[in-house]
Structure 1
């Protein structure tokens, strides 16, 4: 019997918690990290315990019919309290205020969890119910109160989380905004889950059978709600985790054309060999360093008049200021490389006593590198400066 709607989000949450665990071990007193790991673990636990196969296994292992019910309810309350604590710490504020709010949330939902277990122990539930415990025992003393307390506490947590996330949603952008939007939707679905469950329970009180509202409407809605909440939370974490390496890789790759153009311009003894498993950030820095060394070697060959003409041509062609500057830099660098290679004895360098003034270009290496592929079109091949083309970078 499979219940992937619960099991898959549980696995996602557990893996996300493992990913944050090394940071927590390094900074065990960080309240935000503690809240993150606690929320992920408790939410994953609530998912695992809510899956029908796990419900049956827990009941069979303990020998107590429906033992998984108070266990799952207590884990759900732990998840609700941890979620509120997480949002409190995530938003930030005065430390004293954060500590007070954290204590209130943990105290409240800890007490509710204990009350749910106590009500289950006081009630009688001899028949195992895997999917419809709430409606089957809707009129049983103590178990009835347990269901009402669970719905009230879970709905209150969802409304608090909805309100906090909705207010914060207006203040952020990017992947955090997307994550919060998913969480807002998920918490609103949680309220819907509680409403439909209560409707099914109330129908039992009225002497009618509307259990399908609980099993076929509320339960699937609960799966969707919880999945949206955990995905909305994990998304910013994943973005934060991979944003840095992605920027390093993207920058390293985009610098490739410029790095290859300048290869071999500096003495081989100045090139530093990178270890095979060097991180992307180090590789990008090394590539930038090599490019700067190559540009320093080319400096005596830079033709500022050619750059100015290429800049005017790019601007006239409709390019914005930054793209036009990158195209002009690419034209100037390409011409300088050809001039240097046409001067194998390095006569220009030997007779140059000082570097030229900063031409104002090559400040954005990535743009300049990308502009190399657009150079023939963007720099207007027909433009001539002093008998040479600004686009092809030919020298007299």
Structure 2
């Protein structure tokens, strides 16, 4: 039995690939039947995990003992690695897209070729004479053995070809994408290039045996850590676009939620009919609820909106060299402050404001009209704009309002 210290290069990448598969599992289950791209990514991560789980020396020994065939685990492990290679190529074909018939034909060709490779692995192993169990140096120990030599070259060649094609196609695709997807593809390119380094190290050690030299340490001690680093880059490459976009969306929702707090405080006390959500509700749902609360408040204020107040505020904001969009938000904020004051002071609304949607549209782009304002920009103006502050000072002390937790 081998020492536990040799498990680390296998268990760490296995756990990382399993984590990547678990993160994508909800998407895989939802779109398994309708999206071949989802199937290819799921199969790739599952096969990658299996390669490292079954590649542990203790697992290899267990499979050999179970079957009673020395080194039976070798063709099984190399078959998993070969199917992983095929999954990489199929994934790239689906990502690139194009004519569906060409995509199906290419995938059929890849499946046929790599099925033939798997068949060749089992055929060459069945003809080879490998009576001595080798758990960590099988490639170099049997490098000169007939049929086993071909067995080793077959899996290394199939793996190298798949990694080279995947790296080249992914690298070319980098120029067409951006953001989190590009970052993930960069990591995938690095991972597949390192896979080529793994194959080079393995092949160098095997060729050294052919020429009568001993470079077994390359295959035994250098290749496994390289494989672990490869798996790290590939797993993170698959996780990053999905997790990055999710975290970015969560952060954007959180920032908008916080930014809308001044608006909610301004409308505090108005009867909007909005329900409070539990504190543990998803941020996206809380943001929708806060936007709905503000929209309901603006509808409540619509009869009290004064277009003259908004026009004067807009002119003042433009005079302060505010950008047009920011000036519009400032004017909307002043209109909201004025409407809230009118409502709380019991000022009778202009009868013309109750004439329906058409009359509301004639009053201009004020909050609650047909052209909805940027709620986040208006909320920020309520808190920061000197124009709004000046208007509050001229209008007297504000009415007390209930505080709203951000």
Tell me if TM exceeds 0.5. yes
State whether structure 2 residue 15 is matched by structure 1 residue 5. no
Q: Is the 8 A contact 2:13 2:228 kept in 1?
A: no
Structure 1 residue 169: Cα displacement: 0.8
Indicate which of 110, 127, 132 corresponds to 2:132.
Answer: 127
**What's the TM-score once normalised by structure 1's chain length?**
0.85
Report the 3-state secondary structure (helix = DSSP H, G, I; strand = E; otherwise coil) of the residue aligned with 1:128: coil
Q: Deviations over 1:108-153 (max 9, x none)?
A: 1121122112222221223332322211211111111111111111
**What's the TM-score once normalised by structure 2's chain length?**
0.83
Q: Is the 8 A contact 2:190 2:233 kept in 1?
A: yes
- Identify if the C-alpha distance between structure 1 residues 357 and 57 changes in structure 2 by more than 3 Å, giving closer, same or farther: farther
Distance (whole Å) between structure 2 residues aligned to residue 97 and residue 163 of structure 1: 20
Highest relative contact order (Cα 8 Å, sep 6+), 1 or 2? 2
Aligned partner of 1:182 in structure 2 is 187
Distance (whole Å) between structure 2 residues aligned to residue 5 and residue 326 of structure 1: 57
Aligned partner of 1:70 in structure 2 is 75
The aligned runs of 1:314-329 (5 Å cut-off) are 314=320, 316=321, 320-329=323-332
Q: Is the 8 A contact 2:79 2:121 kept in 1?
A: yes
- Identify if the C-alpha distance between structure 1 residues 30 and 353 changes in structure 2 by more than 3 Å, giving closer, same or farther: closer
Indicate which of 36, 47, 51 corresponds to 1:31.
Answer: 36
Runs of 4+ in structure 1 deviating by more than 6 angstroms, as ranges, are none
Structure 1 residue 40: Cα displacement: 1.4
Structure 2 stretches lacking a partner, 5+ long: 397-406
Distance (whole Å) between structure 2 residues aligned to residue 249 and residue 272 of structure 1: 19
Distance (whole Å) between structure 2 residues aligned to residue 187 and residue 320 of structure 1: 48
Q: Is the 8 A contact 2:28 2:38 kept in 1?
A: yes
- Identify if the C-alpha distance between structure 1 residues 323 and 121 changes in structure 2 by more than 3 Å, giving closer, same or farther: farther
Structure 1 stretches lacking a partner, 5+ long: 382-388
Indicate which of 351, 357, 361 corresponds to 2:363.
Answer: 357
Q: Deviations over 1:191-250 (max 9, x none)?
A: 111112111111111111111222333332222122212221222233355555554444
Aligned partner of 1:375 in structure 2 is 385
Aligned partner of 1:395 in structure 2 is 395
The answer to which of 18-27 and 228-237 deviates more is 18-27
Aligned partner of 2:348 in structure 1 is 347
Q: Deviations over 1:301-360 (max 9, x none)?
A: 44214421452255x2xx54444443443344344434433x1x2434678545472335
Q: Is the 8 A contact 2:314 2:330 kept in 1?
A: no
Q: How many residues align?
A: 379
The aligned runs of 1:1-396 (5 Å cut-off) are 1-2=4-5, 3-27=7-31, 28-240=33-245, 247-266=252-271, 270-272=273-275, 274=277, 279-299=282-302, 300-302=304-306, 303-312=309-318, 314=320, 316=321, 320-341=323-344, 343=345, 345-348=346-349, 353=354, 355=360, 357-359=363-365, 363-376=373-386, 379=387, 389-390=390-391, 392=392, 394-395=394-395
